[in-house]
Structure 1
């Protein structure tokens, strides 16, 4: 769990962003998930707030500057980091921004950008958006596939003792 009380603009390029973007770390064979701290944190529930890479295809070229991209990204969630290609303006066909998104809310598919009285429909494309179950509060499945609803068998708990013993045998 990471406590980040500073604004997103001061987080860009920090260790927080690097750690949180990875989502899952494996330490000695055990998966560890990184969550952004929240006052309602409950260790038996996974946070619905996740960082996602979001693409804005066919974004007008004059919006490929950091402040403009962050303003566009704010329509979807809280922007965290720009893709290197967007920062360097290496490609002006599609902007890519990492955005903090709450999976409890519907993901925005498009929105209107008004440029000097002309409305443009801006598409939003999410890269690898995970599913979030509102019943058991875990990432990786939807309510219809949740064991809490009775529609699927309860997942087996990993045998941590067996894993630890196997690791000891490999170390010694």
Structure 2
């Protein structure tokens, strides 16, 4: 396909449902938007209202390794889930 668009066939219905449900993937450090293909003009890149971001915590003292403390630390980056 043109530009940076790719067409993948996922024969397993369960895998296809899971892939489409997530819609945004990180592959080798690159963001990939996934949508169900329909014939016709190329679909445009979706507008983003939020993007999931994984954060690695290193050097966090053991006493802060609990849900509340990690939520506070992650809150510095965005809205933790």
Alignment TM-score > 0.5, same fold: no
Bucket of the pairwise TM-score, normalised by the shorter protein: 0.3 to 0.5
TM-score by length of 2: 0.45
TM-score (norm 1): 0.23
Structure with the larger strand share: 1
Report which structure shows greater RCO (CA 8 Å, sep ≥6): 1
